[in-house]
Amino acid sequence: MEEVVRQTSADLLSYQMSGGGVTFSGGEPLLQQAFLKELLKKHKELGMSTAVETSFSGKWSDIAELIQYVDLFLIDLKIVDAGRLRKYTNASAGLILENLRKIFLTEIPVVIRVPLIPGYTTQQENIDSILEFLTQHKGKNLEYISLLPFHRFGEAKAESLGTLRELNIKNISQPFLEKVKSQFEQNGFLVKVGL
Protein backbone atom coordinates (compact mmCIF):
# COMPACT_ATOMS: atom_id res chain seq x y z
CA MET A 1 0.00 0.00 0.00
CA GLU A 2 2.68 2.49 1.05
CA GLU A 3 4.75 1.75 -2.06
CA VAL A 4 1.81 2.41 -4.40
CA VAL A 5 0.90 5.66 -2.63
CA ARG A 6 4.55 6.77 -2.60
CA GLN A 7 4.82 6.29 -6.36
CA THR A 8 1.47 7.84 -7.28
CA SER A 9 1.81 10.81 -4.95
CA ALA A 10 5.23 11.71 -6.38
CA ASP A 11 3.34 13.61 -9.08
CA LEU A 12 0.73 15.08 -6.73
CA LEU A 13 1.49 18.70 -7.62
CA SER A 14 1.16 17.91 -11.32
CA TYR A 15 -2.21 16.21 -10.73
CA GLN A 16 -3.47 19.14 -8.71
CA MET A 17 -2.46 21.64 -11.39
CA SER A 18 -3.76 19.61 -14.35
CA GLY A 19 -6.88 18.15 -12.76
CA GLY A 20 -5.45 14.69 -13.36
CA GLY A 21 -5.40 11.81 -10.95
CA VAL A 22 -4.94 8.11 -10.57
CA THR A 23 -6.76 5.31 -12.38
CA PHE A 24 -6.93 1.81 -10.92
CA SER A 25 -7.23 -0.91 -13.53
CA GLY A 26 -6.03 -4.45 -13.88
CA GLY A 27 -6.87 -7.26 -14.60
CA GLU A 28 -9.92 -6.52 -12.56
CA PRO A 29 -9.46 -4.20 -9.57
CA LEU A 30 -12.76 -5.31 -7.98
CA LEU A 31 -11.13 -8.70 -7.30
CA GLN A 32 -8.99 -6.92 -4.70
CA GLN A 33 -11.81 -4.83 -3.26
CA ALA A 34 -10.40 -4.32 0.26
CA PHE A 35 -6.99 -3.25 -1.06
CA LEU A 36 -8.64 -1.06 -3.70
CA LYS A 37 -10.85 0.62 -1.12
CA GLU A 38 -7.87 1.53 1.06
CA LEU A 39 -5.92 2.84 -1.94
CA LEU A 40 -8.87 4.96 -3.03
CA LYS A 41 -9.29 6.35 0.50
CA LYS A 42 -5.62 7.28 0.77
CA HIS A 43 -5.62 9.02 -2.61
CA LYS A 44 -8.79 10.96 -1.77
CA GLU A 45 -7.15 12.04 1.52
CA LEU A 46 -4.28 13.40 -0.58
CA GLY A 47 -6.79 15.33 -2.68
CA MET A 48 -6.27 13.28 -5.83
CA SER A 49 -8.97 12.48 -8.37
CA THR A 50 -9.64 8.76 -8.60
CA ALA A 51 -10.97 6.52 -11.35
CA VAL A 52 -11.63 2.79 -11.50
CA GLU A 53 -11.49 0.89 -14.80
CA THR A 54 -13.58 -2.26 -14.42
CA SER A 55 -15.75 -4.92 -16.03
CA PHE A 56 -18.22 -4.24 -13.17
CA SER A 57 -18.38 -7.98 -12.54
CA GLY A 58 -18.41 -7.83 -8.76
CA LYS A 59 -20.81 -7.80 -5.84
CA TRP A 60 -22.82 -4.57 -5.63
CA SER A 61 -22.13 -4.38 -1.90
CA ASP A 62 -18.40 -4.19 -2.68
CA ILE A 63 -18.92 -1.54 -5.37
CA ALA A 64 -21.18 0.48 -3.06
CA GLU A 65 -18.38 0.63 -0.46
CA LEU A 66 -16.10 2.23 -3.07
CA ILE A 67 -18.47 4.86 -4.44
CA GLN A 68 -17.65 7.60 -1.95
CA TYR A 69 -13.96 7.41 -2.95
CA VAL A 70 -14.38 7.25 -6.74
CA ASP A 71 -14.63 10.27 -9.03
CA LEU A 72 -15.17 8.25 -12.24
CA PHE A 73 -15.99 4.67 -13.20
CA LEU A 74 -14.74 3.47 -16.62
CA ILE A 75 -16.89 0.39 -17.23
CA ASP A 76 -16.42 -2.11 -20.06
CA LEU A 77 -19.63 -3.36 -21.66
CA LYS A 78 -18.60 -6.03 -24.12
CA ILE A 79 -21.60 -8.30 -24.64
CA VAL A 80 -25.15 -8.14 -23.27
CA ASP A 81 -26.20 -11.69 -24.21
CA ALA A 82 -25.64 -13.90 -21.14
CA GLY A 83 -24.62 -17.04 -23.04
CA ARG A 84 -22.12 -15.30 -25.31
CA LEU A 85 -20.58 -13.28 -22.46
CA ARG A 86 -20.16 -16.45 -20.37
CA LYS A 87 -18.60 -18.25 -23.36
CA TYR A 88 -16.03 -15.54 -24.13
CA THR A 89 -15.28 -14.06 -20.70
CA ASN A 90 -16.77 -16.47 -18.12
CA ALA A 91 -18.55 -13.47 -16.58
CA SER A 92 -22.19 -13.04 -15.59
CA ALA A 93 -24.09 -10.62 -17.84
CA GLY A 94 -26.92 -10.50 -15.29
CA LEU A 95 -24.57 -9.32 -12.56
CA ILE A 96 -22.89 -6.70 -14.76
CA LEU A 97 -26.17 -5.32 -16.12
CA GLU A 98 -27.72 -5.15 -12.64
CA ASN A 99 -24.65 -3.29 -11.36
CA LEU A 100 -24.95 -0.87 -14.28
CA ARG A 101 -28.62 -0.24 -13.50
CA LYS A 102 -27.64 0.60 -9.92
CA ILE A 103 -24.69 2.85 -10.78
CA PHE A 104 -26.92 4.83 -13.15
CA LEU A 105 -29.06 5.71 -10.11
CA THR A 106 -26.09 7.41 -8.44
CA GLU A 107 -24.36 10.68 -9.24
CA ILE A 108 -20.91 9.15 -9.82
CA PRO A 109 -19.74 9.94 -13.38
CA VAL A 110 -19.59 6.88 -15.63
CA VAL A 111 -17.93 6.24 -18.98
CA ILE A 112 -19.11 3.11 -20.80
CA ARG A 113 -16.32 1.53 -22.83
CA VAL A 114 -17.36 -0.72 -25.72
CA PRO A 115 -14.46 -2.87 -26.98
CA LEU A 116 -14.94 -3.60 -30.69
CA ILE A 117 -13.32 -6.97 -31.36
CA PRO A 118 -14.18 -8.58 -34.71
CA GLY A 119 -15.86 -11.95 -34.29
CA TYR A 120 -16.62 -11.33 -30.62
CA THR A 121 -18.33 -7.97 -30.03
CA THR A 122 -18.88 -6.42 -33.45
CA GLN A 123 -21.98 -8.31 -34.57
CA GLN A 124 -24.82 -5.90 -35.29
CA GLU A 125 -27.03 -7.83 -32.87
CA ASN A 126 -24.54 -7.19 -30.06
CA ILE A 127 -24.19 -3.48 -30.88
CA ASP A 128 -27.99 -3.20 -30.98
CA SER A 129 -28.31 -4.98 -27.60
CA ILE A 130 -25.77 -2.69 -25.95
CA LEU A 131 -27.49 0.36 -27.40
CA GLU A 132 -30.93 -0.86 -26.30
CA PHE A 133 -29.73 -1.56 -22.75
CA LEU A 134 -28.04 1.82 -22.41
CA THR A 135 -30.98 3.68 -23.90
CA GLN A 136 -33.35 2.07 -21.40
CA HIS A 137 -31.17 2.37 -18.32
CA LYS A 138 -28.72 5.24 -18.66
CA GLY A 139 -28.66 7.86 -15.95
CA LYS A 140 -27.72 11.50 -15.98
CA ASN A 141 -24.26 10.42 -14.81
CA LEU A 142 -23.33 8.77 -18.13
CA GLU A 143 -20.57 11.03 -19.42
CA TYR A 144 -20.02 9.37 -22.80
CA ILE A 145 -19.59 6.11 -24.70
CA SER A 146 -16.00 5.18 -25.52
CA LEU A 147 -15.59 2.92 -28.54
CA LEU A 148 -12.37 0.91 -28.28
CA PRO A 149 -11.46 -0.59 -31.67
CA PHE A 150 -9.28 -3.70 -31.66
CA HIS A 151 -5.65 -2.98 -32.53
CA ARG A 152 -2.32 -4.77 -32.58
CA PHE A 153 -0.24 -2.23 -30.65
CA GLY A 154 0.94 -4.77 -28.07
CA GLU A 155 2.20 -7.39 -30.49
CA ALA A 156 5.83 -6.18 -30.58
CA LYS A 157 6.02 -6.23 -26.79
CA ALA A 158 4.36 -9.67 -26.61
CA GLU A 159 6.80 -11.00 -29.19
CA SER A 160 9.79 -9.66 -27.24
CA LEU A 161 8.44 -11.36 -24.10
CA GLY A 162 7.83 -14.61 -25.97
CA THR A 163 4.09 -14.48 -25.26
CA LEU A 164 2.78 -13.58 -28.71
CA ARG A 165 -0.22 -15.70 -29.67
CA GLU A 166 -1.44 -15.84 -33.23
CA LEU A 167 -4.83 -14.15 -33.39
CA ASN A 168 -6.94 -14.41 -36.49
CA ILE A 169 -8.55 -11.01 -35.87
CA LYS A 170 -8.52 -8.13 -38.29
CA ASN A 171 -8.35 -4.49 -37.29
CA ILE A 172 -11.58 -2.50 -37.26
CA SER A 173 -12.21 -0.63 -40.50
CA GLN A 174 -12.81 3.10 -40.37
CA PRO A 175 -16.20 2.83 -42.15
CA PHE A 176 -17.40 0.26 -39.59
CA LEU A 177 -16.18 2.41 -36.71
CA GLU A 178 -17.96 5.47 -38.13
CA LYS A 179 -21.15 3.43 -38.58
CA VAL A 180 -21.17 2.28 -34.94
CA LYS A 181 -20.29 5.77 -33.70
CA SER A 182 -23.12 7.25 -35.75
CA GLN A 183 -25.58 4.65 -34.45
CA PHE A 184 -24.87 5.65 -30.83
CA GLU A 185 -24.90 9.36 -31.64
CA GLN A 186 -28.26 9.08 -33.42
CA ASN A 187 -29.64 7.71 -30.15
CA GLY A 188 -28.48 10.74 -28.20
CA PHE A 189 -25.15 9.54 -26.84
CA LEU A 190 -21.91 11.48 -26.78
CA VAL A 191 -19.31 9.14 -28.33
CA LYS A 192 -15.52 9.22 -28.26
CA VAL A 193 -13.18 6.78 -30.00
CA GLY A 194 -10.26 5.20 -28.22
CA LEU A 195 -10.59 7.06 -24.91
pLDDT digits (tens, 9 = 90+) for 103-143: 999 999 999 999 999 989 999 999 999 999 999 998 899 99
Structural domain including 121 reads: 83-195
Higher pLDDT, 18 or 67: 67
Q: How far apart are CA 116 and CA 64, in angstroms?
A: 29
Lowest-pLDDT choice from 74-78, 84-88, 181-185: 84-88
pTM, full prediction: 0.87
Is there a single domain that holds both residue 28 and residue 116? no
pLDDT for residue 157 is more than 60: no
As beta bridge partners, residue 75 has: 54, 112
Is there a single domain that holds both residue 123 and residue 146? yes
Query: CATH number of the domain that 6 lies in?
Result: 3.80.30.10
Q: How far is CA 14 from CA 25, 51, 62, 177, in A?
A: 21, 17, 31, 34
8 A C-beta contact, residue 12 and residue 21: no
Q: Which domain-ending residue is among 21, 49, 76?
A: 76
